[in-house]
């Protein structure tokens, strides 16, 4: 079968199916999140491009786009998603 004996033993002894899990790793944006939230508190409709410029973001906006939108209280995020 291609499965180790100990794996089979552990599966048979368990009440539930085996589940793979790994700890969540952070994002490169996490270090900037307090600055993003502070800017959005003061200027709730500030475009993500301007926020990126003010915090010194040098990466692609597609990386920080979800964080900016999540931190924003605005219903529509001001960054255009890539096509």
**Percentage of the chain lying above the pLDDT 70 cut:** 73
Domain count, the chain: 1
How far apart (Å, rounded) are the C-alpha atoms in residues 67 and 63?
Answer: 8
Helix/strand/coil for 43: coil
Which of 76, 69, 60, 74 shows the shortest CA–CA distance to 33?
69
Question: What pLDDT was estimated at residue 70?
Answer: 64
Interior/surface letters 57-77, b for 16+ CB within 10 angstroms, e for the rest: beeebeebbebbbebbeeeeb
Residue 3 domain flag? no
How much is the average pLDDT of 21-48?
A: 86
Helix (H) or strand (E) holding 66, with range, is helix 61-71
Residue 58 domain flag? yes
Greater confidence, 72 or 21? 21
Residue 5 domain flag? no
Residue 49 domain flag? yes
> What tokens does 20 get?
């793979």
Residue 15 domain flag? no
Residue 8 domain flag? no
Residue 35 domain flag? yes
Residue 73 domain flag? yes
Question: What pLDDT was estimated at residue 80?
Answer: 41
Domain limits for position 46:
30-83
Residue 40 near residue 72 (C-beta atoms within 8 A): yes
């Amino acid at each position: 079968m291609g499965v180790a004996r100990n794996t089979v033993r552990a599966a048979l002894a368990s009440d539930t199916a085996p589940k793979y899990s790994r700890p969540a790793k952070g994002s490169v944006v996490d270090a900037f999140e307090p600055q993003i939230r502070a800017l959005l508190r003061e200027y709730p409709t500030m475009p993500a491009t301007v926020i990126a410029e003010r915090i010194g973001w040098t990466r692609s906006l597609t990386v920080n786009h979800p964080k900016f939108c999540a931190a924003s209280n605005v219903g529509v995020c001001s960054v255009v998603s890539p096509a």
